[in-house]
């Protein structure tokens, strides 16, 4: 398989990269599954060390789309309908070859779909000859993965749920760039980063349909976003950290109350959470969050990140620790 664009290719092939983001105020639930419209807003931190690189080119010789993920052939079931959005907008019918590589575990609760669809939005739109604004790219990325809308931007990002039925106003905007406030995340990977048993998309649908705590969770999001934005404006890590921890616990409480329950946590997850609590008692700024997976991410300052990472590494249940500063937005690299 060649990743080079054929010389007689009518459209230019492109390569882009994007970083995953971790929601501080969580995204959990949709008001429209087909369009990936969130039921509530969210607020995230884009992370420099969790990167996806994606190459796209359209080839008249292809009879079907091709997708290679981490050097292995993968299904196009989710990819092809998304590429149809690009094709319809560009007025083409040409099939595409997509080659994507993650520099971190895929589908394990580390937001790989966010970086994947953000990188794909940038690469595929340019390969098809489209020139889209960041706002348009955010809407496009959201159609593939709700959290991908946020990975178009650097640093701290707000996702707006929108009110329009077509989702045209459901997009992300920047709150503070990676250079505006240099905070970071320590990521404790547990269980070796294996794929989770139930996808975020399936879990959201099940939680919204069966959890008696779901509506209370949705109601908690707007005030959390308001308070989080105030904390960011004040550069108040303690206040932002408390909101971050509370939002994660509320989300997982709603998931655990689903019938049957959705349980992503492992014993190692609890061990990490307990150790983070101990760090705070020792005077360290450390605030945990978890997504749809067992891994624990700890919001902290850059100056204290090594202390937090060492504490996570000391736990036998933790297989890897990553320290990541705030990262850049999605961009073309070739």
36 and 77 together in one domain = yes
β-pair type (42-58, 72-73): unpaired
The domain that holds 269 is classified in CATH as 3.30.70.890
Q: Which of 127, 157, 178 is the last residue of a domain?
A: 178
Residues 17 and 184: their CA atoms lie apart, in Å, by 20
pLDDT tens digits along 46-97: 999 999 999 999 999 999 999 999 889 999 999 999 999 999 999 999 999 9
Same domain, 134 and 187: no
In this structure, the answer to whether residues 168 and 317 fall within a common structural domain is no
- For 272-281, give one letter per residue: b (16+ CB within 10 A) or e: bbebbeebee
Considering the entire predicted model, what is its pTM? Answer: 0.93
Q: Domain for residue 190, yes or no?
A: yes
Residue 330 belongs to some domain of the structure: no
E strand or H helix that includes residue 120: helix 112-127
Residue 173 and residue 26 share a domain: yes
Looking at residue 104, its pLDDT comes to 75
Query: In this structure, are 18 and 144 located in the same domain?
Result: yes
45 lies in the same domain as 170: yes
Claim to verify: residue 278 and residue 165 sit in the same structural domain: no
* More confident position, 10 or 2: 10
Residue 7 lies in a domain: no
Tell me, what's the pLDDT at 3?
A: 38
- pLDDT at residue number 248: 98
Where among 178, 209, 234 does a domain terminate? 178
Q: Which domain holds residue 64?
A: 14-178
Which of 178, 195, 210 is at the close of a domain? Answer: 178
């Amino acid at each position: 398989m060649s990743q080079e664009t054929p010389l007689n290719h009518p459209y230019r092939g492109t390569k882009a990269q994007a970083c995953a983001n971790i929601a501080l105020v969580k995204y959990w639930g949709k008001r429209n599954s087909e369009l990936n419209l969130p039921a509530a807003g969210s607020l995230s931190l884009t992370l420099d060390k969790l990167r996806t690189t994606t190459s796209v080119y359209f080839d008249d010789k292809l009879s079907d789309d091709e997708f290679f993920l981490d050097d292995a052939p993968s299904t196009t079931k989710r990819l092809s309908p998304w590429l149809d959005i690009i094709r319809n907008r560009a007025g083409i019918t040409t099939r595409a070859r997509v080659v994507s590589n993650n520099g971190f575990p895929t589908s394990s609760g580390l937001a790989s779909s966010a970086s994947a669809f953000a990188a794909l939005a940038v690469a595929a739109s340019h390969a098809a000859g489209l020139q889209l604004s960041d706002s348009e790219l955010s809407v496009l990325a959201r159609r593939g993965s709700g959290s991908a809308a946020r990975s178009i931007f650097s640093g701290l990002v707000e996702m707006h749920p929108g009110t329009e039925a077509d989702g045209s106003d459901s997009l992300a905007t920047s709150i503070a760039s990676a250079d505006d406030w240099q905070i970071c995340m320590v990521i404790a990977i547990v269980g070796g980063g294996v794929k989770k048993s139930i996808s975020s998309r399936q879990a959201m649908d099940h939680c919204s349909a069966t959890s008696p705590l779901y509506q209370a969770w949705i109601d908690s999001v707007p005030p959390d976003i308001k308070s989080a934005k105030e904390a960011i404006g004040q550069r108040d890590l303690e206040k932002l950290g408390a909101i971050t921890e509370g939002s994660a616990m509320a989300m997982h409480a709603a998931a655990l109350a689903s019938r049957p329950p959705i349980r992503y946590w492992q014993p190692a997850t609890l061990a990490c959470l307990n150790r983070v609590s101990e760090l705070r008692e020792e005077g360290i700024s450390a605030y945990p969050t978890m997504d749809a997976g067992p891994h624990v991410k700890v919001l902290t300052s850059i100056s204290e990140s090594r202390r937090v990472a060492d504490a996570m590494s000391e736990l036998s249940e933790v297989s890897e620790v990553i320290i990541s500063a705030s990262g850049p937005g999605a961009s073309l690299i070739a």
